[in-house]
Amino acid sequence: MKELIFVTNNKHKLSEIRQIIGRYYTIKSLADIGFDEDIEETAPDLEGNALLKARHIHDRYGLDCFADDTGLEVDALNGAPGVYSARYAGENASYADNVSKLLEAMKGEPVRTARFRTVIALILDNKSYLFEGQVDGEILTEPRGETGFGYDPIFRPLQSDKSFAEMPAEEKNAISHRGRATEKLQSFLVRETKEAK
């Protein structure tokens, strides 16, 4: 099977992506290729950060790879935390810190609409491609559920009564931002694999 490097060490993301495209490609993480530095996410948007991460690894190792960047965009906060979702409550903020800060910022706010958006940048045979996935929903008033990660306990997608953290992984993947972006990546890769034969 062909190999693709996923520019991440996030175990949740790795297992989500492997569930979706692991049938077609062997997905390796940064740890698998011995890369343990931080790649600074300095771009002003998700597209820029995803490309920056993929290019960094491609320039260093010359391997086909993809990187993702995700943001939670809350309407009442003018799209915040957005591209700053990972460090919303500070540089080394935990998931719990970020969730608390967001709940505090949304206290008493009646307009709770929000969306998760993921951009995946793929570099394959020296060409780059972007894939996007989005899921609309609302910010809950308190955390619910134990699965998933990040803002999952306080995000309820529109098409469900459950928060992302109350869903088994497959249920979340079927409708999530990353699931949708990954499906687009997968369709593209499957087409490429067939055309290469």
Interface residues toward ligand IMP, by CB under 6 A: 68-70, 72, 85-86, 95, 98, 148-152, 164, 176, 178
Structure tokens of 149? 């990660």
Largest CA distance in the chain: 57
Question: Based on CB atoms, which residue is closest to ligand IMP, 29 or 98?
Answer: 98
Question: Minimum Å distance from CB 91 to ligand IMP?
Answer: 12
Please name the amino acid found at residue 154: I
69 has catalytic annotation: yes
- Cα torsion at 149, 89, 54, 183 (round to 10°)? 40
Question: Minimum Å distance from CB 124 to ligand IMP?
Answer: 20
Of 69, 125, 136, 161, the catalytic one is 69
Report which DSSP code applies to 78: T
Please name the amino acid found at residue 121: A
Question: Based on CB atoms, which residue is closest to ligand IMP, 123 or 153?
Answer: 153
Residues in the chain: 197
Question: Minimum Å distance from CB 197 to ligand IMP?
Answer: 33
Active site residue ranges: 69
